[in-house]
Copies of this chain bind each other. A is one copy, B any other.
Amino acid sequence: FSGISSFAHLKPVKCLIEPDEHYDIAVIGAPFDTAVSYRPGARFGPRAIRAASARWLAGTSYNTRAGINPYQSWATVKDCGDIPITPFDNGLAERQMYEAFLELGRRPAVTSADSKYGVKGISAGKPKLVTLGGDHSVALPALRALYQIYQKPITVLHFDAHLDTWNPVRYSSYWTSEQAHFNHGSFFHKASREGLISNTTSAHAGLRTRLTGVDDGDYTNPGPEQDFIRIHADDIDELGPAGIIRTILARTGLDPDQPVYLSVDIDVLDPSTAPGTGTPEPGGWTTREFIRILRGLEKLNIVGADIVEVSPSYDNKGETTALAAAQVAFEIITSMVK
């Protein structure tokens, strides 16, 4: 409860205005929520997740499930603070995030490509970004930046109760506009259409949303954005966490030269744990299940990640949503280091 609240008491730096800051992994806040369709408030997500991590110190972060302490291993992990983002103009906001992700993702990592430690393959020498959202639409500028950096489509591993590949024409009601196409339900559609995503290796997991219309057209309509495989929340009852892991890895592969973006909408968890989110859906996974799934994915080449849709004003007094999100960030950072 003491000290300035950076994530897990990591060294806080304003990376965007300090161009000489380097890191292997940067935690960065994206306090943005004006692309949501229902409950807003995710702009306070970064603050809440950092506050929920305030009980952790680098020295007390040995992850027993993984067998390492991610903050005391080879990687330099910093909290880069928040991206300045306008809450008044989503078009501008998207460009602000894109510029920030590109700037931060392009810097050389602390651990160089030829070090005996650190990442091998296409990501060697490149830093990794863990974004604390913010609403889910922050993934679009992140993917645009990663595409620029890697010059190839990115595999997306998408944990969410919702598809987020909706055609914006169907998704946003009332009068529509070009700018309204950038929102937290359609950004993967947009990204797919722009060619940023390797759809054939990508996966949705944790789905339990209703669809539009009278049939499963949201699944089967032609279009690259529908090429993700779909793992439903209920599938865990048959497959167990281990089966979910196998299904995901069968889809994504483990090629160190294929960059993976791991996107976690906190509403993938059940509302009993994660009530503090914008569009909760009963029937999700427990944190025990989800942590176990995440631990099974540690061999993926995760080059970027986000934890989004934490809306603290709907969280309960005990802050379970933010705690879960902080835990997810910790598990992802562990995977990036291991």
Which residues in A have some Cβ–Cβ distance to B below 8 Å? 1-6, 12, 29, 31, 33-41, 43-44, 46-47, 51, 54-57, 59-65, 67-69, 72-73, 79, 81-92, 95-96, 172-177, 179-180, 182-183, 207-216, 218, 232-234, 237, 240-241, 270-273, 275-277, 279-284, 286-288, 291-292, 313-321, 323-324, 327
Q: Is the CB of B1 within 8 A of A4?
A: no
Interface of A is mostly: loop
Q: Could you say which residues of chain B place their CB within 8 Å of the CB of A317?
A: 275-276, 313-317
Q: Is the CB of B280 within 8 A of A291?
A: no
Q: Is the CB of B232 within 8 A of A64?
A: yes
In the bound complex, what is the Cα–Cα distance between A323 and B276 (angstroms)? 13
Q: Is the CB of B175 within 8 A of A96?
A: yes
Q: How many copies does the complex hold?
A: 6
- Among residues of B, the one whose C-beta sits closest to the C-beta of A82 is B2
- With contacts A72-B214, A174-B84, A212-B60 taken as known, whether A270 is within 8 angstroms of B286 at the C-beta atoms is yes
Distance in angstroms from A282 CB to nearest chain B CB is 4
Q: Is the CB of B64 within 8 A of A210?
A: yes
Q: Can you identify 19 A-B contacts, CB atoms within 8 angstroms? A: A1-B39, A1-B43, A2-B82, A2-B85, A34-B88, A47-B51, A64-B208, A88-B179, A89-B179, A91-B177, A233-B288, A237-B241, A237-B288, A237-B292, A270-B273, A271-B324, A272-B273, A272-B287, A272-B320
Q: Could you say which residues of chain B place their CB within 8 Å of the CB of A89?
A: 90, 177, 179-180
In the bound complex, what is the Cα–Cα distance between A265 and B326 (angstroms)? 22
Distance in angstroms from A271 CB to nearest chain B CB is 4
Q: Could you say which residues of chain B place their CB within 8 Å of the CB of A210?
A: 56, 60-64
